[in-house]
Chain A
Amino acid sequence: MINRTPLLFLNVIIIATCGLIYELLAATVSSYVLGDSITQFSLVIGIYLSAMGVGSWLSGFLDKDLAKRFVEIEIAVAIFGGFSAPLLFLTFASVSYFSIILYAVVFVIGALVGLEIPLLIRILKDELDFKKLIARVLALDYVGALLASLMFPIFLVPKLGLTRTSLVFGLLNAGVGLWGTWLLEDLIKKRDVNILRIKGAVVVVLLLIGFIKADALTSLAEDSLFVDNIIYTKTSPYQRIVVTKGKTGYALFLNGNLQFNSFDEYRYHEALVHPAMLAAGGSPKRILVLGGGDGLAVREILKYPSVETVTLVDLDPEMTALAQKFPPLAQLTNNSLADPRVSVTNADAFVWLDSSDAQPFDAAIVDFPDPNNFALGKLYTTRFYNLLKQKLAPGAAVVIQCTSPLIARNSYWSIIKTLEASGFNVKPYQTTVPSFGIWGYALAKLEPFEIPKQVPKNIDLKFLNDETIASMFEFSSDTTFPTDHEIEINRLDNQALVRYYEAEWRRFE
């Protein structure tokens, strides 16, 4: 028989690496989805280490069939560790007791990993003297940990993503278990060997299926599309929702288009909401929000004590649910969608405006994704703005997000012209949102009106002040109305805007 000791030491490295990877995965996932990474890392490490202690202590109760037990534990770690990241991603958005599941998973993996090393030491104790054994096993254990901590941020997360990393290390664990059935064959009862091998093979197959199915969660192509890590994906009947987490914060993408980044979204949303609230007289009561299912515009609206009702109409129930159930987003919105003043309706705003019998509103915040398809293009037409007009109280103000006047200059001014053609007085304005670039809006009223000059007092603002609000209504020469060619009005029967937008943004693809 060959000397199996060196091979068993290789197992120690693999086991140690896997163990630390699972710990890092759990800590990363929890800090992504629950926010507050210091707390999450600290808690996960604490629970994991103490669970390892529990595992080591439990190893004292195992007396017989140590080799068989060892293989069984490997297979169990492979299952729990391998499926840990996909399980956490799948459950966090759908259950309210997510943190219980998270810590339970961490504890189970920790305990199983804690069983591994003591058992291995006891298996090896007959082949090496105790002094050398302890020295080598522990040394290799720590080397494995170093390996994991280097690979995790440098290679695994950027290249494989969290889900695939988890599954790959599950496969490694299962591999160690299966390998053990040969290495330790003489220590395992004959009939048990085959049963263990079948169990191991089943787990390998399950993990492989998981690896293939991981594409349903996030495809490798999609992973590489986003700079930051994908922490949430959902394909609703209307769009693909992706949330990423990176150094700067959380970012929401709809169909691959950035909707906000948490580090500078306040600039976008303050600029969107407050000018309209001011133009509506400063103390509007009934507010309509079309689009804006992320709840961030509503957060700004609720800063006004005058607001009595906010009606939010967003197409996608998955989006409005995410804003309420996804802890980082709920936190970012101050739980705005759960506010009793807010009512959420999931409908196509075009159809809703045509059929709703809602009373007129004092202000309307129109925050749709950019008009990059015909279904969205209809939300920027004269027909749409004419429908919207019928839902406005006297003196009401409307604001519309209008894409970038720098990148999509024709698109921007086409929206402005369309609003004017629908009978609105329009004040175009723009601001800088670092993650978007120069961004354009339209402030509009049916009555003639003056540009708001002063930000509201007693409203907590991070971005807007009297100077910025005035400067937003100035346009630099590269963003002004193009005078060298006609700009078409966007109507249902020409969808001119979608064609402008396509042509202008395609240059950047």
Chain B
Amino acid sequence: MTFTRRDILKSFLGLPLALAACRSNVSEISFDGEIVGANANLGHILREQRVFEVPENNWENIGVAIIGGGAAGLTAAWKFRKQGFDDFLLLELENRIGGTSASGSSNGFSYPWGAHYLPIPFKENAELISLLREMDLTEGFDESGEIVIKEQFRIREPEERIFYKGRWYDGLYLHTGETPEDVRQLAEFQKQLDLWVDWRDAKGRRAFVLPVANCSDDPAVTALDKISFGDWLREKGLTSERLLWYCDYACRDDYGLKLETTSAWAGLFYFCSRVPKSGVESQSFMTFPEGNGKFINYLAGTASDKIRKGQIAVEIIPTETGVDVICFNSETKEIRGIHARKAIFAAPVFTANYLIRDFKQNPPAHIREFEHNAWFVANLFLKDRPKSQFSRDFPLAWDNVLYESPSLGYVVSTHQTGIDYGGSVFTYYYPMTEKDGRAKLLSLDWKELSDICLTDLSRAHPNIRELTTRIDIMRWGHAMISPRTNFLWSGVREKAREPFRNIHFAHSDLSGIALFEEAFFHGLRAANEIFQRL
């Protein structure tokens, strides 16, 4: 079955925009670009259950093999180096490291391919703060002992703006045109959040804090995981359309899920975990032109001699004395074997069933509970920035969100540099929130995805096609773990992080929330587990 342009645009952006776009007949594409990275074919080699025979003389011995070069795996490598432990290797199947924190650069611009900011951690997150200090991103502590991030790395104002019915407004919550009832409900929502921000369990733990491992497991909190965020809002009598939109946006932005599929625990985690106490603003962000690629590149730089890219671990075989890892070089097609004493499995959890021999033969049920959603991210190279349509429009911000769009809008890679004129790179995010999102996404080619992105942005920027000189697109088949209802506190996370023989697990999946802080936490945890056992 083939789809027309209208079918595709309708399915991604809704019928009215699809009709308008098809009427104006501007589907001709005069610019260049490609689908980059996240090679689905590579990943699918794993599923073919091919048998890979390692030649006799192609084995090497190593202390620890880290499988996966995303934030968790790189954190483990960084920790090893920091502790003076050198006997390790990191295998990454892609030709670029970073996983969903990857970044790119060209023509003097750096831009993210996925994660692109980090809230400033609380002082309790000492390990993460030590990384930030090591990276020279900080300038001391404030009077209450909280870390102070250098001004140039704190998100520059204006942070966000929202496009609604032809105009841009300040902020992410749409204030314009709100009724007294909307105002009341927003205040009520804030009151509910404040209750949870100040809530402590018998042990003095917060309900919501980063990393997730430090959150209270009191049933009063974990019960929130059994209902959707949408249900929770309705339970509190919150039905304001713009408030629901705001919460839905939060779910799509942080989890790639809709309000009705996100667990209420996860929804509240988003709003509460970065607020020090009630009445205080949420922690400010730090961001970089390359997004969280900043952390990735730094971490990788501390262990660059240990990183092997384009190395697909095709089978992981626990043995009596350690772990054997069989690697397939995606370029040379060479098959190598590694006898490791320990392994850190720092790849998405669901892949364990395709890689670990015992799991292949006898898949543990809990692993199937780890579901991911798909995204596509487009980097638009612009020769100039779109002009404001109206002089009262709020100006270009870091994060630019379209109220009427199912996408997440775009972030501006030059925002933090202070380069406020001329060319830029806009990074556009579209989460596939439906069940069959992945198949739908992978069925579309570069041209079709570019068209979706440009048609969507043309709502706010009618001349976006003329300004665009290139679009590169990343299709993330498995972008983020989905914290849907009855997942986070069902016990599967605990099972999945238990070491299996000599294999230790490290990934943000194990927190059930796809955040850098979580990947960092699990990378450190796995590295420390290994230190204790070596």
Residues of A at under 8 Å CB distance from B? 237-238, 315, 348, 350-351, 354, 373-375, 377-378, 381-383, 386, 491-495, 498
Q: Does B145 contact A (CB under 8 A)?
A: no
**A255 CA / B418 CA spacing, docked (Å):** 20
Contact A492 B422, CB 8 Å, known A374-B395, A383-B151: no
Which among A375, A382, A494 is the interface contact of B420 at CB below 8 angstroms?
Answer: A375
With an 8 A cutoff between CB atoms, is B459 at the interface? no
Which of B151, B158, B422: most chain A Cβ within 10 A?
A: B151
Given contacts A375-B420, A492-B156, A493-B154, 8 further A-B pairs with CB under 8 A are A238-B421, A348-B419, A373-B395, A374-B157, A383-B151, A492-B152, A493-B157, A493-B284
**Chain B stretch 142-169: residues in CB contact (< 8 A) with chain A:** 151-152, 154-158
Contact of B418 among A238, A351, A386, A494 (CB under 8 A): A351
B358 proximal to A (CB < 8 A): no
* Closest-CB distance, B286 to chain A (whole angstroms): 9
Query: What are 9 A-B pairs at a CB distance below 8 A?
Result: A237-B421, A348-B418, A348-B420, A348-B421, A375-B421, A492-B151, A492-B152, A492-B154, A493-B284
User: B337: shortest Cβ distance to chain A, in Å?
Assistant: 49
Contact yes or no, A350 B418, CB < 8 A: yes
B418 touches A378 (CB 8 A): yes
Q: Which residues of B contact A382 (CB under 8 A)?
A: 151
Main DSSP-derived SS at the B contact region:
loop
The answer for the CA separation of A94 and B271 in the assembled complex, in Å, is 57
A237, A375, A381, A491: the one contacting B384 at CB < 8 Å is A237
Q: Is the CB of B151 within 8 A of A491?
A: yes
User: Which of A351, A377, A386, A493 neighbours the largest number of chain B CB atoms within 10 Å of its CB?
Assistant: A493
Q: Which residues of A contact B214 (CB under 8 A)?
A: none
B residues 264-284 with Cβ under 8 Å of A?
A: 284
Chain B contacts for A383, CB-based, 8 A: 151-152
- Please, which residues of chain B bring their CB within 8 A of the CB of A498? 157
Please count how many residues in chain B sit with their CB below 8 Å of the partner chain's CB atoms.
16
Chain B 407-426 interface 0/1 with A at a Cβ cutoff of 8 Å (1 = within): 00000000001111110000
Contact of B158 among A351, A354, A374, A386 (CB under 8 A): A374
State whether A351 and B417 are in contact (beta carbons under 8 Å apart), knowing that A374-B395, A492-B152, A493-B284 are contacts in the complex. Answer: yes
Residue of chain B at shortest CB distance from A382: B151
Instruction: Please name all residues of chain B whose beta carbon is closer than 8 Å to the beta carbon of A375 when the two chains form the complex.
Output: 420-421
The answer to whether B151 touches A351, judged by C-beta atoms less than 8 angstroms apart, is no
How many Å lie between the Cα of A494 and that of B284 in the bound state? Answer: 10
| Complex-state Cα separation, A351 to B108, whole angstroms | 13
Once the chains bind, are A493 and B418 in contact (CB under 8 Å)?
no
A281–B149 CA distance with the chains assembled, in angstroms: 36
* Minimal beta-carbon separation of A356 from chain B (angstroms): 13
A374–B412 alpha-carbon span in the complex (Å)? 15
Closest to A379 in B: B418
Q: How far is the CA of A433 from the CA of B419 in the complex (A)?
A: 33
Measured between C-beta atoms, what is the minimum distance from A291 to chain B in Å?
14
Question: CB-nearest residue of chain A relative to B158?
Answer: A374
Which B401-441 residues have C-beta < 8 A from chain A? 417-422
Shortest Cβ distance from residue B154 to the other chain A in the assembled complex, whole angstroms:
4
Q: Report the nearest A residue to B420, measured CB to CB.
A: A375
Contacts of B151 in A (CB 8 A): 381-383, 386, 491-493
Contacts of A494 in B (CB 8 A): 157
Interfacial chain B residues near A495, Cβ < 8 Å: 156-158
* Closest residue on chain A to residue B384 by CB atoms: A237
Kindly list chain B residues whose C-beta atoms are within 8 Å of the C-beta of A378: 156, 418, 420
B514 to chain A, nearest CB (A): 25
Interface residues of B in 508-533 (CB under 8 A from A): none
Proximity bits, B365-407, A CB within 8 Å = 1, else 0: 0000000000000000000100000000001000000000000
Closest residue to A354 on the B side, CB-wise? B418
Provide the bound-state CA to CA distance between A279 and B471, in Å.
53
Bound CA–CA A375/B424 (angstroms): 15
Minimum CB–CB distance from B394 to chain A (whole Å) comes to 10
Chain A residues contacting B420 (CB-CB under 8 Å) are: 348, 374-375, 378
Given known contacts A493-B284, A494-B157, A351 and B419 CB-to-CB distance under 8 angstroms: yes
- Min Cβ gap A352→B in Å is 10
Closest 8 CB pairs of A and B: A495-B157, A375-B420, A493-B154, A350-B418, A492-B156, A383-B151, A492-B151, A351-B418
Q: Quick one: closest B residue to A315, CB to CB?
A: B421
**A493/B155 in contact, CB under 8 A:** yes
Give the docked Cα–Cα distance between A404 and B420 (Å). Answer: 25
A386 to B151 alpha-carbon distance, docked (Å): 10
Closest to A386 in B: B151
Rounded to whole angstroms, the CA-CA distance of A491 and B159 in the bound complex is 13
* Complex Cα spacing A386 to B422, Å: 25
Q: Pick the contact of A493: B156, B395, B419, B421 (CB < 8 A).
A: B156
C-alpha spacing A238/B395, complex, angstroms: 14
CA distance A456 to B85 in the complex (A): 67
**What residue in chain B is nearest A499 (Cβ atoms)?**
B157
**Which residues in A have their C-beta under 8 angstroms from that of B154?**
491-493
User: Least Cβ distance of A115 to chain B in Å?
Assistant: 48
Residues of B within 8 A of A377 (CB): 157
Instruction: Please measure, in the bound complex, the distance between the C-alpha atom of A35 and the C-alpha atom of B172, giving whole angstroms.
Output: 52
Of chain A, the residue at the smallest CB distance from B149 is: A493
Complex-state Cα separation, A382 to B155, whole angstroms: 14
A378 to B158, CA, bound (A): 11
**Chain B residue with the shortest CB-CB distance to A347:** B419
Q: Complex formed: what's the CA distance from A238 to B384 in Å? A: 11
A contact residues around B395 at 8 Å (CB): 373-374
In angstroms, Cα B422 to Cα A263, docked, is 35
B156 partner residues in chain A, CB cutoff 8 A: 378, 492-493, 495
The smallest beta-carbon distance between A350 and chain B, in angstroms, is 4
Q: What distance in Å separates the Cβ of A490 from its nearest Cβ neighbour in chain B?
A: 10
Measured CB to CB, the nearest residue on chain B to A353 is B418
Chain A: CB-nearest residue to B416 = A492
Instruction: Give CA–CA (A147, B422) in the complex, Å.
Output: 50
Report how far A373 CA is from B284 CA in the complex, Å.
22
Residue of B nearest to A236 (CB): B421
Q: Which of B123-155 contact A (CB under 8 A)?
A: 151-152, 154-155
Most buried by B among A238, A492, A498: A492
| Chain A residues near B419 (CB-CB < 8 A) | 348, 351
Which residues from B are CB-within-8-Å of A493?
151, 154-157, 284
Give every chain B residue within 8 A of A373 (Cβ-Cβ). Answer: 395
Residues in A with CB closer than 8 Å to B284 are: 493
CB-nearest residue of chain B to A492? B156
Distance (whole angstroms) from the CB of A421 to the closest CB of chain B:
11
List A contacts of B417 (CB < 8 A): 351
Contact A237 B152 (CB under 8 A): no
A375 to B284, alpha carbons, bound, how many Å? 21
A373 to B421, CA, bound (A): 13
Q: What residues of chain B lie closer than 8 Å to A238, measured between beta carbons?
A: 421
How far is the CB of B139 from the nearest CB of chain A, in Å? 10
Q: Say how far B228's CB is from chain A's closest CB, in angstroms.
A: 34
Min CB distance B120 to A, Å, is 10
Known contacts: A373-B395, A383-B152, A493-B151. The answer to whether A237 contacts B422 by CB under 8 A is: yes
B280 to chain A, nearest CB (A): 15
Minimum CB distance partner of B152 in chain A: A383
Q: Using CB atoms, name the residue of chain A closest to B150.
A: A383
Residue of A nearest to B418 (CB): A350
For B156, give the chain A residue with the smallest CB separation.
A492
The chain A residue sitting closest to B159, CB to CB, is A493
